[in-house]
Each structure stands twice: as structure tokens, then as C-alpha cells.
Structure 1
């Protein structure tokens, strides 16, 4: 399957739009998987027989050395408001993070690599990963064997804050540890007119929110990155009754394991201290999410050199406080994760997110070149 440049560009955009119109949530990407399998098979790519409920792994080339490229394929539970002509046809589900773009980029790289298959100095494995948003997909692919014999892996995220044609990455820590906490405050209910007869959990919850903000500002070195955000408070069901219980939920983002443990320790200490002061009870549940994404220094520098060689304007990325399931691969093998500008007027996970599709063709050509050149490295 050979395309003229303009036809190639339009094919990738068409695939992206078809994926965008038909988004599926994490672990439910059945139709998405079928589409990608069909497109890859039609282009003559070898599909590898891994046992996966959703997701696709393909390969191009021959030889012992293997380099992997990864795209993510799942969408988010968001009602689209972008207004584009190819908006989501699935109510309440949207590709608001650009995984449809990422998939189209790696599909394009697959086509380009297939054209040069006989000249490739090894194999390129193409991972179309499900369930990135709930951080289970990378583990599923690794368990299935998708990283066997792979010497390095590369992936991307579109960056709405960067112009199209801009490339950024960094060696070392890049994306953050992502942890979730739930705080359950148990007080004593009472009539709102007689608060002294109870232990008001709403006042305690309010104090708790303020106290948690002192962790970043007063407990952690200001040169270390940390975010503590309370994102949900739920309690009470009427206007004149003090409730018995209030529940708070939130997230912690860090880039170092010792800071991560220190923050968890302080949250538990603050909760215990305030509970004692208010004569109440606060139960803390802590859920570890994806770990810090740590780029291999060599491969991060290499990925930037290749980006410069194909015409990207490159820069060293700032630390990201978001999480990324790609981090799990980098715990197993070396590689690099990169940002490519998508110039969306709205950010990731926004209902009006609308990346500039012109990034797709150049990014596809970049990843094809990156994979081929990486196969030549020691």
C-alpha cells in the first residue's frame, strides 16, 4: 500500500476522524481494536497473536533487534462540545485526550515502515494499547508478552500548549507519580440550630482541605514538585441538618518516591490530628496510581536529535504533573516519551479539546525515522 504525500496525509486524517467519531472507554475498545486490526492487515502488517481482550500488536521488518512504538486507543467519559463536523457519535464519550491522534500517527509510521520493510535493520513492533486512562493497559500488554526481545520503546503525547511543529522531551523524570486518596470524616449529626450537640463534619472537612494545602507550601522543599488537590467533597442532604459523615477525594502528584511517601505520611498525620481535635474520626484510604515516567537519558537525547533532523523545533520539556501509563514500560526496558505540539485552544480532558490535525503526518514520518535509526544504535 503506497500513498502519494497528499493522499497519505488525508488517509491518516480520515482514520483519525473515524476513531474520533467512534470513541470507546478504557477496556471497552472492541470496535476500535477491530478498525485498527483491519487497517493494519490491509497494509500487509503482521499481527502478533497475543491474548488481549482489546488492543493490537503488529510488527514490521525482520531480524533479531526489536524497537517498539506505542499508541494509546481509549477515550474519556466526556460529552463533546468541540463543534467539529466529525464529533463523537457516542453520547458521553469523547477522545478528549487525543488518543485518536496518537493512533493515527503510529498507523502512519507503520505504513511508512512497511514501504521500507526490506531495508529495515531489524523489526519494529507497534503497540496499540488499550486502557491508558485507567492505567491498566500497559501492564496487560507486558503480561501478554508485547515487550519480549524489545530493546527500546518510544511513545508520544500531543501537547496542546505547544505550536504545531514543536517537539519537547527531557531525560530523567518527566510525568508524575499519580496517587489518589479518599478521606472519610465521621462526626456526630445534629440539628443545624443546635450544632453544639454534635461534631460537625463539614467544618472539620473544611479545615482539612485548608490544612492539606500546607503540605506543598510548608512541609516539602519548594524546589521539589508536589501537588495536593482535593477534587470532591460530599456530605449532607438537606439545609437544616448537620450530617454524620463527609467524604473527600483527591489526588497527589510527585516526581520522587521519597516525596510521595512523605506526602502520604503527612496526610495521615493531619487527618489524625484534626480528628482528635474535633472529637471525630477520619479514615484515610490511599491508592497508588502510575509511577513517575522516567525517560532514559540516552534515548531522550536521541529522540530529540532525530526530531531536529526532520525539521521540528525542539526544546527541553518542563516537568509534567499529569500521569502516563507509558511509565510502566520504562520500568521494564529503556526508551523515551515525547511531546509533539497540537495547538489546541482547549487543554487535555476538556470537552472542547480540538488538536490541529496537521501534526499527524509529520509525526508519523518522525516516528518511522526514529524507529529505523534506533535499530542502528548499539
Structure 2
């Protein structure tokens, strides 16, 4: 039996009260499994530690719907009646809303199962916030036969009732870097007896500021931010080692690859000229979230009756949905979830969601899942 929007709000509030960090979504997974089994929906044997994959319908084609389920290490300050009961953990990115939307869509699709022209695979994905969940889902092999995939993220700056979409880049490719620099320690009074790591680190940071402005076309969007450096601990000693870290982001996969190569080249050349050793650490981060043009057209057309559909402005945030799109044609959308002039952004300890947004998020999945099945059936 399908859920009412009021029932979905109750489910979301429960999930909001019981958030779990990436890779630790055990209670959330058990809750979702129980709900899906109550609906008579098949939960597949995926081998996932947390998160789950289920399906409705049978035969080809196969399309997938994805929602993420993990929370963030944030102390909630909303004072909502359903505020997090797990201190220091909060659904500050709205994944409680995402998974509830997919659950609501699953209930409706189950009622339509006899009419479906193929199989719909439901992905309740763990560990999005640490960019590991999508890869874990892909490793199960349960998406090998999927021909198209859709997902969405809520956007507090958009009012409930709005849906933003565009073909091409929707969210940035992300690189997370840490560069460790090692020289030779010496007394500050005799820098000639050492290899100055402080100078090396600051020289590298300064030179990297030219990477975007002098190597990237002005018609492309890219950013490099060095957000943290640590070198030295006292006033009269030149330290042996230090490091700096930050991020590189762009909307063009080739630009992203080129920036990383040039970044490494600049650091290596400076290290050689300054006589220091360097070590690079690259985080697990997503590529560009890039919408398939043909499928975007299908989703755009079939979303007109369920929302005020607008052209999306790409976000410089990252999203591990992009890992699916490297292997499967996909569409990622933005669903309005608040819209108040002073609405706190994602990852904020006061971030809240308007439950009226279910009136777009649930039919977004339902209508477009069926539309994509018909599209691939041709």
C-alpha cells in the first residue's frame, strides 16, 4: 500500500532522529529492509555491509533509482521536535529525505508492478559522504545490466515544488590533495646548514595560485583552494617537514585531469629546485557528475507535470553518483527543499527540509522510472 505524504513525513522524521555515519548505517539498513519487505518488494543479496539493493518488476530493460542514506558528523542545532537523538551526528545533507522519497516511490511502483515494462532496481546507498558507497554498490555486480540510472539531491535554496536539471555537468569533479614536504632541520640562525621547508611550502602554495589563472581557459570553470598548511612549531628552528592540503574542482573531465597533472608537475619541479622531497596523497573523491543528454531530455519532458522545472546551475560540490555515470548513462537532478531567503545550506547545523518537497521527489522517481523503461524498450 502506498504511503501518504503525511506518512512519509513521519518516516523521514524518524530517520532524522536516528542518523548514522558513513559505513555505520546498520539501524537505517534494517529499518529500510523491514519497510521494503512489508511492501512485498524483493531485497537482493548484495553482500553490502550497510545499505541495500531491491527490485520491482522483471525482465529487460533495467533502470535504477538511487538514494543515499548516511549522515554527517555534525551536532544538530535546529531544536526540531524530531532533532537527532545521536549527539554529534545529523542528517545535515538531507539524506533522510532522499531515502524516504525512494521508499515512497518504491511503494507506488510496487502497486504498478504489473504495468511496468521491465525491472526497476532500487539503490539505498551507504557512505556517500566519504565517496565510497557508489563504488561498493557497483562492485556487487547488481548494476551490470542497468541501462540507465537517476538520482537527485535536495537544494535548500530552491523552494519545494521546483526541480532543476540540465544536461552535461551538474556537479564538480573533486580532487582532495595533501602534499607532504621534507627538508633538513636547522637552527634558524644557520639556515645554510639545513633545507628550508617553510620556504618550500610557501613557495609551492604561492606558485599554485597561477594554476587556474594561467592554464585554464577563461571559458571553463575551475577552482583550486589550499585550505590548510602546517609547518614548524617554534620561532627559532627551521623544521624538517610540513604539509599543505586542499581541493581542485572543475566541471570538465579533461580539465580536471590536466589540472591534476600540472599540479603534480609544478610541485615536483619546485621540490627539485629547492632541494626538498615531496609525497602526494590523493583522497577518494568523485569525478564530474555529468548528465547524459538523451536521458536528460526524457526526464525533463516527463517532469513537467510534477514540478516547476528549471535549468540547473551546476554546483561546485561533489557527488559520488558520478561513479555510476562513469559506467551507466544517468541523470541527476536538484529538488527544492526549502527556499526561505535565509535557509541554511547543506552541511549546516541548522539545515531543515520542508516536507512539502515530497510532492516532487516521489513522483520524480516514479514518473521517470517508467519513462526510462519505455525509452529503453524501443
TM-score, structure 2 normalization = 0.91
Does the 8 A contact of 1:105 with 1:361 survive in 2?
no
Q: In structure 2, how many angstroms separate the alpha carbons of the residues matched to 1:137 and 1:159? A: 21
Is 1:325 the counterpart of 2:320? The answer is yes
Post-superposition Cα deviations, 1:142-183, rounded to whole Å, max 9, x if no partner, equal: 221321432211101111222221111111232222212211
Q: In structure 2, how many angstroms separate the alpha carbons of the residues matched to 1:241 and 1:51? A: 53
TM-score, structure 1 normalization = 0.91
Q: In structure 2, how many angstroms separate the alpha carbons of the residues matched to 1:126 and 1:258? A: 31
Q: In structure 2, how many angstroms separate the alpha carbons of the residues matched to 1:22 and 1:319? A: 31
Counterpart residue number, 2:363: 365
Does the 8 A contact of 1:67 with 1:374 survive in 2?
yes
Following superposition of structure 1 onto structure 2, how do residues 196-235 of structure 1 map, counting pairs within 5 Å? 198-235=194-231
SS in 2 for 1:342: strand
Following superposition of structure 1 onto structure 2, how do residues 68-83 of structure 1 map, counting pairs within 5 Å? 68-83=64-79
Post-superposition offset of 1:29: 1.0
Range 199-208 or range 23-32, more displaced:
199-208
Q: In structure 2, how many angstroms separate the alpha carbons of the residues matched to 1:356 and 1:17? A: 11
Counterpart residue number, 1:26: 22
Q: In structure 2, how many angstroms separate the alpha carbons of the residues matched to 1:264 and 1:143? A: 26
Range 219-228 or range 201-210, more displaced:
201-210
Q: Select the residue among 128, 131, 143 that pairs with 1:132.
A: 128
Post-superposition offset of 1:74: 1.1
Superposed CA RMSD in Å reads: 2.2
Q: Select the residue among 238, 241, 244 that pairs with 1:245.
A: 241
Post-superposition Cα deviations, 1:15-57, rounded to whole Å, max 9, x if no partner, equal: 1111112111222111110011111111222212222211111
Post-superposition offset of 1:233: 1.4
Q: In structure 2, how many angstroms separate the alpha carbons of the residues matched to 1:2 and 1:277? A: 67
Q: Select the residue among 343, 346, 349 that pairs with 2:347.
A: 349
Post-superposition Cα deviations, 1:60-86, rounded to whole Å, max 9, x if no partner, equal: 234433221110111122222233222
Q: Select the residue among 232, 257, 261 that pairs with 1:265.
A: 261
Does the 8 A contact of 2:298 with 2:371 survive in 1?
no
Post-superposition Cα deviations, 1:280-328, rounded to whole Å, max 9, x if no partner, equal: 3333334463222221111111111122122x12222222222221112
Does the 8 A contact of 1:168 with 1:304 survive in 2?
no
Aligned length: 373
